[in-house]
Amino acid sequence: MKKIMLGILIVQIVLFVVLLSIDFKPKSMANSPSRTIDSSIRKDSPSQAVLNQSTFIEEDIVNLKNDDGLEEIKQKYRSLFTKLEETTSTRLLNLMVAVFDEFQEKGIENQSLLSMTDYYQEFKDLEDETDQEFSRIYEEMKTELKNNGYSIEDAVEFRLLYEQKKKKQLETFLEQFNQ
């Protein structure tokens, strides 16, 4: 049962990382400079971390002008989506490192089902929070487009890209899993 739960958790985490960052392909977790866990991120509860990232993103949104051209609006929101992706990727990588470190330290036989359940729940919370934050930014983008006389259809490419990354990463993961 522990092996199954660990396997599911690892699959979910890897899938989520792959979904967020198509170009992100870690070669080795053991030698990665990203193994260092940022203590400021690690100390946040999932909801506090999202609140913190929301605060930074809202500060950037306040600076947006309502009379910007279509491409300028898209570029500003593209940078907000990139910040969200980077923040989420960092938190997810830290979670993966914690799971990997615990697995290395305790081994599969001593891995507690409770800790795997906790990691899985933390992963699902992160996924939900990221989806909610994406939706919030996406809705604000549509509002700004509409307020400036542009079609909200101009925002659709961002939603499609988000969904396309998830699909592509799933395919990539399944290919790696089958090797």
Q: What is the pLDDT of residue 155?
A: 94
- For residue 37, is it within any domain? no
Q: Which domain holds residue 98?
A: 2-23+43-178
Residue 95 maps to a domain? yes
In a domain, 158, yes or no: yes
> What are the residues whose beta carbons fall under 8 Å from the beta carbon of 145, sequence distance 6 or more?
70, 73, 151, 152, 154, 155
Is 30 inside any structural domain?
no
Decide if 33 is inside a domain. Answer: no
Whether this prediction's pTM lies above 0.75 is answered by no
- The SS3 assignment for 23 reads coil
Looking at residue 163, its pLDDT comes to 80
**Residue 35 falls inside a structural domain:** no
> pLDDT value at position 139?
97
What does the pLDDT read at residue 112?
65
The tally of domains found in the chain comes to 1
Provide the pLDDT for residue 120: 78
> Tokens 């990139």 — which residue?
82
At residue 66, the 3 state secondary structure works out as: coil
Q: Any long-range contacts for 160-167 (C-beta under 8 Å, 24+ apart)?
A: 162/81, 162/134, 165/19, 165/20, 165/21, 165/22, 166/19
Per-residue model confidence (pLDDT) at position 169: 56
- Residue 85 domain-assigned? yes
Looking at the domain assignment, is residue 86 inside a domain?
yes
- Burial level of 36, CB count in 10 A (0-12/13-18/19+)? exposed
In one letter, which amino acid is 90?
T
Q: What is the pLDDT along the chain (179 residues), one digit of tens a residue?
A: 566 666 666 767 766 665 555 443 333 344 444 444 444 444 455 555 555 555 556 655 544 444 459 999 999 999 999 998 888 888 888 887 887 788 788 776 666 665 777 877 888 888 889 889 999 999 999 999 999 999 999 999 999 988 877 666 556 544 543 44
